[in-house]
Amino acid sequence: MKSIELDTFRKNLKARQAELSQGRRNREAVAIQTSADELDRIQHAQERDYAMGALDRDSLRSREITAALERIDDGTFGICLNCEEEIAPKRLAAVPWTALCIVCQEVAERITSDSQNEDDPLLKAA
């Protein structure tokens, strides 16, 4: 991959990382609020759960971006960590923090989905 392309990816990844770090500072939504009304408590709990899920997703994405920046620095950016083939430029343009080519990503998602389905008691009963 050309140096100019890598610089563009580095710039975009750092910008995305800065956006994510701004969002992590907004943690008021996870504060526990007390209320005498049961419906208010339920609503606050749901809002807190949603905010915690968003924080988890942002944290995961931040780690993926950090790993991508490290791959740029060590010269392995754009190479699939699983099969070691080149990741398609269109995929990198869409998801610059990706560590897997589309084929390996689909296999990983299928494996994850299958293992989650095995843990589902309703599917075991079927």
- Over residues 59-116, the pLDDT tens digits come to 999 999 999 999 999 999 999 999 999 999 999 999 999 999 999 999 999 998 887 7
In the chain, the number of structural domains is 2
Cβ neighbours for 67, distance < 8 A, ≥ 6 positions apart: 97, 99
* 1-5, 25-29, 40-44, 67-71: the lowest-pLDDT one: 25-29
**One domain for residues 109 and 95:** yes
Q: Do both 65 and 3 map to the same domain? A: yes
CA distance 65 to 11: 11
3-state DSSP of the chain: CCHHHHHHHHHHHHHHHHHHHHHHCCCHHHCCCCCCCHHHHHHHHHHHHHHHHHHHHHHHHHHHHHHHHHHHHHCCCCECCCCCCECCHHHHHHCCCCCCCHHHHHHHHHHHHHHHHHCCHHHHHC
* Residues 58 and 119 grouped into a single domain: no
Q: Which two tokens stand for residue 115?
A: 């293992």
> Is the domain of 107 the same as that of 65?
no
Examine the fold and report which residue of 76, 93, 108 is the final residue of a domain before the chain moves on: 76
State the pLDDT at residue 49. 87
Last residue of a domain, one of 57, 76, 95: 76
Q: In this structure, are 83 and 65 located in the same domain?
A: no
pLDDT at residue 24, as a whole number: 60
Q: Are residues 12 and 53 in the same domain?
A: yes
Q: State the pTM of this model.
A: 0.75
Is there a single domain that holds both residue 4 and residue 65?
yes
- Are 38 and 60 members of one domain? yes
Considering the domain architecture, whether residues 28 and 84 belong to the same structural domain is answered as no
Question: Do residue 39 and residue 93 come from a single domain?
Answer: no
Same domain for 23 and 85, yes or no, is: no
Same domain? For 72 and 86 the reply is: no
> What number of CA atoms fall less than 13 Å from residue 64's CA on the CB side?
15
Instruction: Report whether 96 contacts 103 (CB < 8 A).
Output: no
> Could you list the residue range(s) of the whole structural domain that residue 38 is in?
1-76
